Structure 1
């Protein structure tokens, strides 16, 4: 059973995530996070003593949630061969459609903070290991992961983002590559 402190911490992180998605990443402050969570700023500071600590917590929370969804998608896939790659594709597709603002902020913040960057790197390595051991050619699996990374960077940083129709065709082609 989770402690009260862990439950409160999760609530704060979920609230901060919701705030970013409703507003803007740059609008997130300790005050706004506390208000969104319905707690005092002192209560927030107990769990996250500064904005940097909150950002590290957010990055870990976001990647934990992504990893849970990744594992759940793979677990539900009845076809063993390529299931981890398909899980990565499907979770990434949903994530890009729903969490773009959040992802931009976390990626940007990670470039300035080695702790955030390290946390992201560990999550990516976990997923890379899963797709490499996915009963398909590990090079093909890695190409799929790198293509997903490219979709993220293209859309998140507005570097020649694909229109919806072409993005869907790319995603379908990636899924085909898993079979």
Structure 2
């Protein structure tokens, strides 16, 4: 019985977090209020506040949710690259490509929030450390791996800061080039 209640509580939190992320994607960071999240999620304001007692708790929950989602997607994508020399890095390229399209507005909102809350980066730093350890175990061409990783980070950050000058086609060409460089010996 306790396991079922825990699962329901986790489902409720996930639904609220997804509604908050959808709200940011659609209307921007300024639209993130407890009332707006309650309306979007279908929960009462009290239901949202029960799961996330403050707006800060909601934001922290969103960052943790996104970090976990990124890591899960990399892990899933990694299975299709098991035979490569650097399956985790291949998966990171694949996932980054999707995230740059799907999570562009969320990244910008998180950046705006993080400006006065640097600790919000911690969930992503934990994930990045695990990914770095996996890559270190998978390849002995670490300089190449870090150059590719740095390129992916640059794509993420330029999108988050709203200063990317690349079109979608140009970004796709960069990602294709990173894949090509990853497989060349």
Deviation at 1:78, TM superposition (A): 4.3
The one-character-per-residue Cα deviations of 1:5-60 (angstroms, maximum 9, x if unpaired) are 11111111111112222221221111111111101111111111111000000000
The answer for the alignment partner of 2:166 in structure 1 is 162
The answer for the alignment partner of 2:59 in structure 1 is 55
User: What is the aligned length?
Assistant: 179
TM-score, with structure 2 as normaliser = 0.89
Matches within 5 A, 1:1-179: 2-179=6-183
RMSD value, Cα: 1.6
Measure, in 2, the Cα distance between the counterparts of 1:72 and 1:105: 26
Q: Which is worse superposed, 67-76 or 112-121?
A: 112-121
TM-score, with structure 1 as normaliser = 0.92
Measure, in 2, the Cα distance between the counterparts of 1:105 and 1:64: 18
Aligned 8 A contact 2:111 2:161 in 1: no
Measure, in 2, the Cα distance between the counterparts of 1:39 and 1:165: 40
Measure, in 1, the Cα distance between the counterparts of 2:96 and 2:89: 10
User: Structure 2: where are the runs of 5+ without partners?
Assistant: none
Deviation at 1:160, TM superposition (A): 4.4
Measure, in 2, the Cα distance between the counterparts of 1:78 and 1:118: 28
Partner SS, residue 170 of structure 2: helix
Measure, in 2, the Cα distance between the counterparts of 1:41 and 1:155: 32
Structure 1 runs of 4+ aligned residues shifted over 3 Å read none
User: Structure 1: where are the runs of 5+ without partners?
Assistant: none
